[in-house]
Chains A and B, each alone.
Chain A
Amino acid sequence: MHESRTYWMTYGVAVVSVAVALVLSELLEPFLGDARPYLAVLGAVVVSVWRGGWRPAAFAAMIGYLGTAYLFIMPRKEAGVPRSDFAEELAAYLISCGVVISLGELWHGARRRAEQHLKSLEQEIAERKEAERRLIANLAIAQILAESPQLEDAVPRVLQKVGDTLGWQVGAVWIPDADERFLRCLKMWKAFPDKFARFEAVSSGGTFTSGIGLPGRVWSTLKPVWIPDVTRDENFPRGPVAAAEGLHAALAFPICGEKFLGIMEFFSDEIREPDEAMLTLFGVIGGQIGQFIERKRAEQALQKAQGELKQHATELEHMVAQRTVKLHETVEDLEAFSYSIAHDMRAPLRSMQGFAAILKQDYGDKLDDTAQGYLQRLGSAAARMDRLIVDILNYSQVVRGELDLGIVDTHKLVLDIIHSYPQFEHTHADISIEGRLPPVLANEAALTQVMSNLLGNAVKFVAPGLRPCVRVGANPEAAHDGRVELWVQDNGIGIPPDLQKRLFNMFTRLHRPGLYEGTGIGLAIVKKAVERMGGSVGVDSKPGQGSRFWVQLRRPIQQ
């Protein structure tokens, strides 16, 4: 409408200038005479082409011709001026008009092109400036994010930088509550501290659910939103306060990393039309801030976890130290306890045995056979008790004592046992070693205990009246993991398969008391000692066909 009015105005200018030209011609006629009747109208054509281009100029030339013809040519025709003069004048007029209009159009074209060029140049400069501001803002935000140790430090600085650089007066950050039911204002920034107080109060005290208000709208779509004038927006509850304080344009964008974290919004005191480039920029900035927040949170979580881990480790160390001290105390108590068992329990036993023996020796001739039998039982019960205590002490020694491992000459060890233990003499057992026993990695005292227990069992558990026949041997290749197997084969009564599992347990005895004496601890000692030396123990046996006990121990490392 505006344009068309300007357009018609140019025709108005043509009409007015022609009219003025005709009036001037009329007034100047006494001085000019009728020699140049078109001269003034030609001036009107020049004015028309200058103001409106070729169309109004052509229109002016036409009405100028008609007016001139009516006002000057007709009276002159009637006055009898020759026709040829009019034709000549008309031709000159038309040619002049043509030249004037052409020149005018050429000038107009040149001017239009110049204006257009200037305009596009200005636009380009403006765009570059805008792009530069966005770039500066972007760089500044990146720098803030890089420098900030905490989210709390970064947010106010980002708000201020965006506002200052891109010309917004108020900024705010909104974050969802723990249950993600509504958004609440985390932080606000104002370019002028003494302005927009009511808007700040309304914002920082308010909450928005999804889809409601500017933050809610961004939350529901996760896309930047630009409102040219919030005072005219229907979905903007803070509108009246904004209107009262002179805030108009608004921009909000989501802060998203892997997931939605919050919203940043800005307000301007001007009405601003949407700027696509700025919207795109804020989409990117929102992503950057989101990634920053998530990275910071991950770092903080990591730091926290590391701190907790460290604290936990310290506590654990402390606890281990405490327990170790306690354990040492317990072990010391146990050792003292074992020692007191050894001394205090065995001392009265020795007295019982001693007095029983003395009674028998010194007063035996005054006692009848029954009394002698009771004395015998008294002595053997005490002896059994003594063995039990000794075995328990041996077992506890094997369980807790230091077992330093070294290279043990098994062959010599077994020979020494056979020759030094009186029980093998008494039974007249036939004990032989097959081949030469290889050395093993063991504790000599513990292995002596093991082999003497096994040999003792081998000669003990034979059928009454049968001469024990025990063979000891080694099988260097029996175990697959480089161990040496030592075995003790007897011609004893054998062990039923269902009892073989319990055989190595504490206090396991497979026979009635009196038939085969024993405490039921010997094999438990064997098992514990072998295990503490890093080996294993087992038995292959069938009732009535003897038993074959085997012990697997580590081979000493070859020098």
Chain B
Amino acid sequence: MKEFLTVLIEDDEDDVFFFQRAMEKVDWPGAIQILRDGAEAIAYLTGAHSAADPRQHPTPSLVILDLNLPIKTGLDVLQAFRGCDPDHTTPVVVLTSSTSQLDVRDAYRLGANCYFTKPSHPDGLVELLKVLKAHWIDYNRLA
């Protein structure tokens, strides 16, 4: 069985730090690939499906996606990713500071599996990652 690969698409340095700290605290398994902008994320995610060598571009097990990204937005990334993953085999968790109902709707329409707003306290993030780990890694069966 291949290693669990989490792709975190997040441009904010501080948020990346909070993530890594919270992941340590909840014993998040496997490898973590961090992508800093929308264009990079699209290149990585679409390349994973077309690349000749799957070891260089392993298919992610779970994508955690921020919406407000430089160059290309999170919604663009989602659209491009779902374009080459029509079966929706890879779960995408949208985790963003946006509370806009429009963003929520668009995210689901483009194939997000769930939508969370970023907790303002580090403890909140730890709580959220506990839930995500339990759901997607401990209990959920991936395709």
Contact = CB atoms under 8 A, between A and B. Distances in A.
A386 B125 CA distance: 17
A347 interface: yes
A347 B97 contact: yes
A350 B120 contact: yes
Q: Interface SS of chain B: helix, strand, loop or mixed?
A: loop
Contacts of A348: 14
A351 B120 contact: no
B99 A342 contact: yes
Contact of B97 (A343, A354, A358, A383): A343
B44 interface: no
Contacts of B120: 346, 349-350, 353-354, 383, 386
A516 interface: no
B18 A339 contact: no
Chain B: interface size category: 10 to 19
A374 interface: no
B122 A339 contact: no
B140 interface: no
Contacts of B57: none
Contact of B100 (A339, A347, A355): A339
Contact of B68 (A343, A355, A361, A386): A343
A357 interface: yes
Contact of A357 (B15, B68, B99, B122): B122
Interface in B112-128: 118, 120-123, 125
Interface in A304-354: 339, 342-343, 346-351, 353-354
Nearest to A379: B121
Contacts of A358: 18, 21, 122
Given A351-B14, A358-B21, A342 B122 contact: no
B62 to A, nearest CB: 23
B98 A354 contact: no
Given A357-B121, A357-B122, A358-B122, A350 B97 contact: yes
Nearest to B118: A350
A354 B121 contact: yes
A193 B125 CA distance: 107
Contact of A347 (B15, B21, B122, B123): B15
20 contacts: A339-B98, A342-B98, A343-B68, A343-B97, A343-B98, A346-B97, A347-B15, A348-B14, A350-B14, A350-B97, A350-B118, A350-B120, A354-B18, A354-B120, A354-B122, A354-B125, A357-B121, A358-B18, A358-B122, A393-B99
Given A346-B97, A354-B18, A361-B122, 10 more contacts: A339-B100, A342-B99, A343-B98, A346-B120, A347-B97, A350-B97, A351-B14, A351-B15, A357-B122, A393-B99
